Amino acid sequence: MSSRRSDEIKKGVERTAHRALLYSTGLGKGNLERPFVGVVSSFSSLVPGHAGMRELERFIEKGVEAGGGTPFIFGVPAVCDGIAMGHGGMRYSLPLRELVADSIESVAQAHCLDGLVLLTNCDKITPGCLMAAGRVNIPTIIITAGPMLSGRHEGRRLSYVRDTWEALGRLKAGEITEEDLASLEKEACPGVGSCSGLYTANSMACLGEVLGMSLPGSGTALAVSAKRGQLAYESGKRVVKIIEEDLLPRKIMVKEAFENAIRADMALGGSTNTVLHLLAIAYEAKVKLSLSSFDRISRQIPHLVNLRPGGENFMEDLEEAGGVPGLLNTLREHLADCPTVCGKSIKRIAEEGRVHNREIIRDLSCPYHKEGGIAILYGSLAPEGAVVKQSAVAEQRKKLEGIVRVFDSEEEAVGAIHKDEINEGEIIVIRYEGPKGGPGMREMLSPTSAVVGMGLSQKAALITDGRFSGGTRGPCVGHISPEAQEGGCIALLKDGDKVLIDIPGRKLEVNLSSKELEERKKGWRRPACKIKEGYLARYSRLVGPASQGAVLG
C-alpha cells in the first residue's frame, strides 16, 4: 500500500495517542486503513442556497464509503449576499472568501487529510473553496448545492433581483403598490438553492465545472432534483479514486483551464465578480492570470447564453438545454484540452455534450452579442482597469459621456436616488467602497437596482471602486483600480467633472488634464479606515487591489 498523508497521524507506535482519539469518534481499525476524506460543508439554515445541504452531506458520506474512503465532516461559514446586501453586513461578504479558504487549509493540514469534497453554493463560498483547493493542493472535488427554481406569480416567472430589489424602485416610482410588493416578496424565491438567474453563485458553479474541479452537470442541476443527490454521491465516490491517482488541483487548474473558464464565462455573460474570483483562484493555484486576459478572450468569444438579469431565461432553462456540457460542445473548437476530476478531459466532455434548445444556448453563428459578456475598461480614471457586464447594457448606452455626481458611500448614493435627485445624463460615482476603503468592496445592488426600478437606467450611469451583484444590469462600471482609498483618480473627482464611458472602445476617462489631476492629488488626504477593530480592520490593512483579485498579502 502506498503511503498517504493521513499516515502521519495514524501509522506507527508513535501515533498510539492519535489513534486513541480517532477511535473515540467511533472509528474502527478498518476505517483507519482507508484514505481520510474531509467533507467540507458550508451548511447554514440562514442561507437559502445552503439550507438543503444536510441531505447532500449524507450522499457525499455514502459515496466516500462506497469508494473505499473514511469521511469526516467539518464546517465552514456561509453568508447570504442578498440578506447582507444594502447595509454594513455586505462588508463581510468578500472577506468571507478568505476565511473559507483559510478554514479549509487549517483543518486539512492540521489533520493530514488525503482528499477533500467541498460542498458549497453561494457567492463567496464557492471561490473560497476553489482557492483552498489550489492552496492546499490535495485531491479535491467541488460539489455545489444547486440553483433554486424560478418563482411564479400571476402566470409569470419571477427572479430574486428583478422582483424584489428592482421592484422596490418601481414602488418608489409609483408603478406598483405595497400589496404588489408583498406578493412578490413571498413568491420570488420558492425554495432552497442559489438564486435562479446567472448571478455570482451560479456563474461560479458553472466555471468550477469548466475548470475541471466538479463532475459534469454540477453547475446547473437544480437544488430540488434527484440529480443533485446523485452528483453528491458520485463526487464522494470519485474523490477516493483521484486520491489513488494523485490527481491534484494544480494538475487540473492550469493556465489553459483558466482560459477555458474565461471563454465559458464570456459565452454565459456571467457576473462581473467572476473576474475577481478567477484571479484569486489562479493566484492560489500558482497560475499567472492577468486582467487583460479577460478582455482579450471577450473579443474572441461571443455571448451565447442570456439568462437573468440581462435576459429573460433562468438556470432551470440552461439545465434543460444541456447545461455546461452543452455550452462546452458549442465552444469545443475554442477549448484547450485539460484533465478534470471526472477522469475525462474537458474536450471529451465537450464532445459528449448536447444542446437541446438553441435559443437558450445559441450557436456561434447566431450569438446574442458578438462579444463576450464582460469587458475591461482602461483610461485616466482606471489605469489598472475596471469591469463592466456589457451583455447587460443596452446597445445605445454602451458609449456615453456625462457629468458626475460624487458620493463617498453607498448609503449617500441610495438616498439621493430614492429622493429622485439624479438628473438625466448624470453619472453616479460611489467611491471609498473598494477592498481597502469599504472595507470589503461591497456589492452595489441597492443603488443599481434602484436606478433600474425607478426608470433611470436609460438616463444615468454608475461607476464605483466597489463591486456589483451578479444581478446588476445597465451601464454600471465597477472594480475601478486604483481605488479611492489608495489615492486613485476616482478619489479626485468633483461634482461637475465630465467622464466618458466607452465600452466598445474599452475606455473610462475623466476630462481633466494631468496637471489638474496632479494639483488635486496634492490636496488629497487618505481617510482613516471606516472600521477600527476586528477582522475588517485587519482585512483593510492586508488586502490587495481588485485588479489582482483582492487577495490578502
Percent of the chain with pLDDT over 90: 92
Query: 371 in a domain, yes or no?
Result: no
pLDDT surpassing 90 at residue 470: no
What is the pLDDT at residue 471?
74
Element (H, E) at 364: none
Q: Which of 412, 411, 435, 512 is nearest to 95 (CA)?
A: 435
Domain check: are 163 and 111 in the same one? no
Domain check: are 103 and 212 in the same one? yes
What is the pLDDT at residue 332?
98
Query: 357 in a domain, yes or no?
Result: no
pLDDT tens across 495-547, in order? Answer: 999 999 999 999 999 999 999 999 999 999 999 999 999 999 999 999 999 99
Give the pLDDT band of residue 236 (cuts 50, 70, 90). Answer: very high
pTM (global) more than 0.85: yes
Residue 420: φ, ψ to 5°: 60, 40
CB 415 within 8 A of CB 506: no
> Helix, strand, or coil here: 349?
helix
Give the pLDDT band of residue 367 (cuts 50, 70, 90). Answer: very high
Give the pLDDT band of residue 344 (cuts 50, 70, 90). Answer: very high
Catalytic entry in 446, 469, 540, 547: 469
Calpha distance 142→437 (Å, rounded): 32
- Mean pLDDT along residues 320-348: 98
What is the pLDDT at residue 473?
84
Task: Calculate ∠ Cα 280-439-383, nearest 5°.
Answer: 60
Residues near 534 by Cβ (< 8 Å), separated by ≥ 6? none
Domain check: are 426 and 539 in the same one? yes
Domain check: are 111 and 179 in the same one? no
What is the pLDDT at residue 96?
98
Domain check: are 143 and 167 in the same one? no
CB 200 within 8 A of CB 208: no
Domain check: are 103 and 237 in the same one? yes
pLDDT tens across 282-293, in order? Answer: 999 999 999 999
Domain check: are 348 and 459 in the same one? no
pLDDT tens across 137-193, in order? Answer: 999 999 999 999 999 999 999 999 889 988 988 998 899 999 999 999 999 999 999
What is the pLDDT at residue 451?
87
Whether 469 is a known active-site residue: answer: yes
In the structure grid, which three cell numbers stand for residue 83, read together?
440578506
Percent of the chain with pLDDT over 70: 100
What is the pLDDT at residue 458?
85
What CATH number should be reported for the domain holding residue 88? 3.40.50.2300
pLDDT tens across 485-503, in order? Answer: 999 999 999 999 999 999 9
What is the pLDDT at residue 553?
80
Query: 441 in a domain, yes or no?
Result: yes
Domain check: are 113 and 164 in the same one? no
Calpha distance 263→297 (Å, rounded): 6
> Helix, strand, or coil here: 481?
strand
508 forms bridges with which residues in the sheet? Answer: 501
Q: Which of 472, 485, 369 is nearest to 435 (CA)?
A: 485
Query: 458 in a domain, yes or no?
Result: yes
CB 344 within 8 A of CB 257: no
Query: 331 in a domain, yes or no?
Result: yes
pLDDT tens across 206-231, in order? Answer: 999 999 999 999 999 999 999 999 99
Query: 553 in a domain, yes or no?
Result: no
Residues near 443 by Cβ (< 8 Å), separated by ≥ 6? 81, 85, 90, 93, 273, 466, 467, 468, 469
Domain check: are 138 and 112 in the same one? yes
What is the pLDDT at residue 49?
98
Query: 461 in a domain, yes or no?
Result: yes
Residue 20 CB-density burial (10 A; 0-12 exposed, 13-18 middle, 19+ buried): exposed
What is the pLDDT at residue 89?
96
Domain check: are 106 and 242 in the same one? yes
Domain check: are 433 and 532 in the same one? yes
Element (H, E) at 230: helix 226-245
Which range marks the domain in which residue 138 is found? 7-21+31-149+191-352
For the beta carbon of residue 449, count every other beta carbon within 10 angstroms.
Answer: 30
How many distinct structural domains can be found in the chain? Answer: 3
pLDDT surpassing 60 at residue 69: yes
Q: What separation in angstroms does the CA of 2 have from each of 7, 166, 245, 499?
A: 10, 57, 11, 63
pLDDT tens across 245-264, in order? Answer: 999 999 999 999 999 999 99
Domain check: are 145 and 158 in the same one? no
Calpha distance 185→82 (Å, rounded): 13
Query: 529 in a domain, yes or no?
Result: yes
- Mean pLDDT along residues 428-449: 94
What CATH number should be reported for the domain holding residue 534? 3.50.30.80
Calpha distance 338→415 (Å, rounded): 49
What is the pLDDT at residue 444?
87
- Arithmetic mean of pLDDT over the chain: 96
- Mean pLDDT along residues 361-388: 97
Question: Would you list the DSSP string of 148-214?
Answer: PPPEEETTEEE-TIIIIIHHHHHHHTTSS-HHHHHHHHHHS--SSSB-SSSSHHHHHHHHHHHHTSS
